[in-house]
Chain A
Amino acid sequence: MKMTFLEAIKTGMDHEMKKNENVYILGEDVGPFGGCFGVTAGLFDKYGDKRVRDTPISEGAIVGCAVGSAATGLRPIAELMFGDFVTVAMDMIVNQAAKMRYMFGGKINLPLVIRMPIGAGVQASAQHSQSIEAWFTHVPGLKVVYPSTPEDALGLMMSSIEDDNPVIFFEHKLLYGMSTEVGDDIKPIPLGVAKVQREGTDVTVIATGKMVHNAIEASEKLAKEGISVEVIDPRTLYPLDKNTIFSSIEKTHKVLVITEEHKRGGYGGEISAMISEECFDDLDAPVVRVGALNVPMPYAPTLENVVIPNTQDIINGIKRMF
């Protein structure tokens, strides 16, 4: 069946809510309004205000509520309207959710999912466009999920809800409308397993979120020039499937890492460093990293385009290695 990315996330949540009455959604305007992007539309009618709960605009309390209820038997899904707003809730994620199991000697479960739309491309400018993966991959105790297709979004959402640890679930807002075929056999996709989105032999591109699609586009263009590109989507940034990445590099000996984050300090840097440390002997060229310009996201479309990495940047980066 064909499904949009947005419907896939909703379907994943719906399945888990059907299975387990302790799964509930909370967030700003997630009820009758259906969420700012429409991800929860229809769920309120199906499950009512107890399980699809509108909250005041209080991100700290939304995530805190998720933490407190997860610690006492529920499986909350907290929606933050935009990933950028998570700054207000960082204590609850970084100091509380991520660390409670460890500080308490493993004697507590925290099954909670925090969903947040991220990414640029809709002229939402500096406070509604950021890619903030590295803020969370840096914190022990969190799992970080970032799907790029409807099928993955669905299966990964189910696994995230079933996980007993806090999971940060990123959704690129430009992908919401993307529609592809999703297998009829709806089932969870385990966290920590990468997907080879396109097989190739000459160079490996590791891409996340919307950049996976740019990488595929670049690979199609380069195929015409005789360069065979393998595109890998880690799908979960932590736990990270190193084996799939390393196996590909053993084959291609060249790597480009592309993420939409600011290049400085991004998770792409972590992946590149890991490859340089652990696969140095397999490399024929230094790892190439592509990311956004290190400036706040500007508003004007012409300026925004300059900041976000694009398909041509990937092509240029790959050509540098040949």
Chain B
Amino acid sequence: MTIPNMNVIDMYKTMLKIRKFETKAMNFFAEGKIPGFVHLYIGEEAVATGVCANLNDDDYITSTHRGHGHILAKGGDLKFMMAELFGRATGYGKGKGGSMHIADATKGILGANGIVGAGHNISVGAALSAQYRGTKQVCVCFFGDASTNQGTFHESLNMASLWKLPVIFICENNLYGISIHQSRHQAIKDISERAVSYNMPGITVDGNDVFAVYDAAKEAIKRAREGNGPTLIECKTYRQRGHFEGDPGTYKPAPEQEEWVKKDPIPRVEKFILNKKILNESQLKDIQQEIDIQIEDAVEFANNSPYPSLDSVIEDVYSDMKEEVRVR
């Protein structure tokens, strides 16, 4: 499939935005400026980017604990994300969620999620909702290899296929469930094989090739929109960092790490853009600078934002009760 140059540039920008946002977050975490847990997506940017490039604003996604990439690719705002990581009142969750719980209902982002495998079930509900209301919306469910060992994965694929729901299951096989290599957590190699059990198409693609991901997702999304049901797409990729920041990832053999860093999705796109003469070196640099500025703006926005008022701790537990939660 030929992808228009415009889309190639947009996808490059998205991947770079994710990489630069996370590199910033990584440094801030190391400096102690960001509390809590930070799970980085570095090395996996092609997956979220290639998939979301096919989505509309009102389509839905469910995400994971490693969610920054999905959220940015689906149109999440750098400023509100950075502010949330900083625990500020202007953040997506008003400082109540943090990195693992960013959502933006206006962009169909139904939340990053701290529970491995929880997004599967929620995505089926969102897809059912689209089908019920008769819209042409779809829901993309992002999840990791290790979550396919949870019961939720199997329940959800079964239900989605049974009811021909417009959901696309995107497995990011990054080779590790925390510290456990895929070969030690499941007896299969290609997770797409599991689609057979649920009578849906299952395909495996190079998850570090944004164009391969884009093409596969495009077809699956079309199929879902036309009412033909779900697809399972396995994207083979690699988590370049530890499970969370602070995990040195010593369980990953050095040669394996080196081999995958060579397959880093971002330089691959840069090379493609230059080879195809879509842009020249200096235009690429301009894009990089443009994104650096966006990131700096987001940091400034976060830094200048107030901390949440201590009274806000009782807000948003319920739609219609506030003071009551203190006293009853």
Contacts and interface: CB of A to CB of B under 8 A. Distances in A.
Contacts of B121: 60-61, 63-65, 67-68, 92
Interface string A6-30: 0000000000000000101000000
A247 to B, nearest CB: 15
Contact of B159 (A24, A65, A76): A65
Interface string A119-139: 000000000000000000000
A46 interface: no
A22 B133 CA distance: 8
Query: For this complex, into which size category does the number of interface residues on chain A fall?
Result: 35 or more
A71 B104 CA distance: 11
A72 B317 contact: no
Interface stretch (B24-32, B34-42, B123-131, B169-177): B123-131
A104 B132 contact: no
A72 B320 CA distance: 19
Query: For this complex, into which size category does the number of interface residues on chain B fall?
Result: 35 or more
B122 A64 contact: yes
A240 B328 contact: yes
Interface in A45-73: 50, 55-56, 58, 60-61, 63-73
A300 to B, nearest CB: 33
A66 B128 CA distance: 9
Nearest to B165: A65
Nearest to B109: A104
B91 A105 contact: yes
A104 B105 contact: yes
B164 interface: no
A4 B220 CA distance: 49
B161 to A, nearest CB: 11
Nearest to A71: B110
Contacts of A60: 121, 151-152, 155
A165 to B, nearest CB: 5
B13 to A, nearest CB: 26
A67 B318 contact: no
20 contacts: A24-B132, A50-B132, A60-B121, A60-B151, A60-B155, A64-B118, A67-B125, A68-B121, A68-B122, A68-B123, A68-B126, A68-B127, A68-B128, A68-B139, A69-B126, A69-B128, A95-B114, A101-B317, A103-B96, A141-B317
